[in-house]
Amino acid sequence: MSSGLIRRDNGHGKTHYFASSDESKICVVMVGLPARGKSLIAGKAMRYLAWVGIPARVFNVGTYRRQGTPQPSATFFDPHNEEGEKMRRAAADAAITDMIQWFDAGKGVVAILDATNSTKERRRWINERCQEANIETLYVESICDEEDLIMNNILEVKTTSPDYKGQDPEVAARDFRERIRNYEKVYETIDDGEKSYTYVKLINVGSTVIINQIKDYLSSRLVYYIQNLHIKPRSIWLSRHGESEYNLTGKIGGDSNISERGEAYAKALPGLLKKSGVPPNTKIVIWTSTLKRTIQTARHLAAETGFEKLEWKALDELDSGVCDGLTYEQIAEKYPEDFAARDEDKYNYRYRGGESYRDVVIRLEPIIMELERSENVIIVTHQAVLRCIYAYFLNTPQEQSPWMEVPLHTLIKLTPRAYGTEEQRFKADIPAVSTWRAKGTSAKHQEYSTETKA
């Protein structure tokens, strides 16, 4: 397979990204005992690939198995349970068959097969099926013997897994531990006998990473992302800067100060963070852009908590080029064709001398890598940047992310889980203008009331 991604412009201002070979097909095969973070890693990898424009999909074998056995007990997973083994094999076969059809229909570039895949025989069978379909395999094994982390993952599964929906949590936890013991009876780690496979082994949350036979650009890019992941419980808080002087007049870009109400939000932010639920003795790092309005918004939080604060140039607002400092009304008057083009395809439209949302995603990729390496972080940034980061965690489609409403004076708490990202919003009781404009609406700057838009 030839390496790299190529970029093509369709002649109408829209840029598309493709795998460098039309034949590129990669199946990422998760490997590991239950409660080792496989589904979390699979979900993150899928979101990352979609975020950077590479079509991907997770094929979770448990989802197929639940069609016939929605809430099995641990005995279903006993290696001596021949009927259970037969049904589990059928679920894996159905998932792989669907995956191959998905590839054949040209719907994607990377598929992620999320299951334990815990024996050499199972991995050999998967490899044969993929080879027959001209699909390359990348095995990702998550190994963990840290008891605290395993117990956290058991807690996560018993409260979020469809297998235990509606069940008593303690009963669910006991059953899940027994399920793990059943898998441990037959589990075989990837070893020297499988050196012909392309694989990465993550040991104890990435403290040790073993990489073997990575041959192409896309796999290496994915492995680099995966080796930066950890599966420890944590949260990420997102906030726009407090209302700025430019916000009051409808101007975009610039490096203005925050308004009086923006200052009130800055003072309220420490209490809002506490209200959101911060576990005792939790260390949080504060990230801001290099622009005044984010630094001013975070200064009381840093002073009151003593948390470390870092400024990132990559978190600066989308560069609006020649339109910097203008209102949308002025842009529509001065550059009517550009205003219409941006409404048509906001994600790919690039301001003259400035950036597009796609450009912002590209410059945010190192931020995402650092964020995945980190534990608890609060990011105080700008509307476009926050939309892009939010879209990464919530798997928001590219065409929708630039139109999301992200109100001022609101703290968003995101907590990654095995089966998705949990979101909570905490609104400060401090009025602010609304800077949101719906697609196709008038560019005229409204006379904002002192009430926050709902």
**Binding positions:** 240-247, 293
* Cα–chain center distance at 223: 16
> What would the 3-class secondary structure string for 170-205 be?
HHHHHHHHHHHHHHHCCCCCCCHHHCCCCEEEEECC
The H-or-E segment that residue 116 falls in is: none
Residue 430 phi/psi, 5-degree rounding, is -135, 115
Please tell me the number of Cα atoms within 13 Å of 15 on its side-chain side. Answer: 16
Please tell me the number of Cα atoms within 13 Å of 194 on its side-chain side. Answer: 25
Locate tokens 């973070």: which residue?
A: 37
Residue 324 corresponds to which amino acid? D
18-53: b (≥16 Cβ within 10 Å) or e: ebeeeebbbbbbbbbbbbbbbbbbbbbbbbbbbbbb
Catalytic one among 156, 230, 241, 372?
241
Residue 421 phi/psi, 5-degree rounding, is -110, 125
Q: What share of the chain is helix, strand, coil (3-state, %, to 5)?
A: 45, 20, 40
| Pairwise CA distance, residues 310 & 284, whole Å | 11
Catalytic one among 136, 141, 263, 317?
317
- Contacting residues for 99 by C-beta, under 8 A, at least 6 apart: 27, 57, 59, 111, 113
C-beta of residue 34 within 8 angstroms of C-beta of residue 176: yes
Q: Is 250 left (phi over 0), alpha (psi -120 to 50) or beta?
A: left
227 secondary structure, DSSP code: T
| CB neighbour class for 228 (10 Å; exposed up to 12, middle 13-18, buried from 19) | middle
C-beta of residue 317 within 8 angstroms of C-beta of residue 289: yes
317 carries an active-site annotation: yes
372 carries an active-site annotation: no
Please report, in range form, the residues annotated as the binding site for substrate: 240-247, 293
Nearest-10 crossing angle of helices 357-373, 383-394: 60
Tell me the torsion sign for CA atoms 265, 271, 277, 278: positive
Residues marked as catalytic: 241, 317
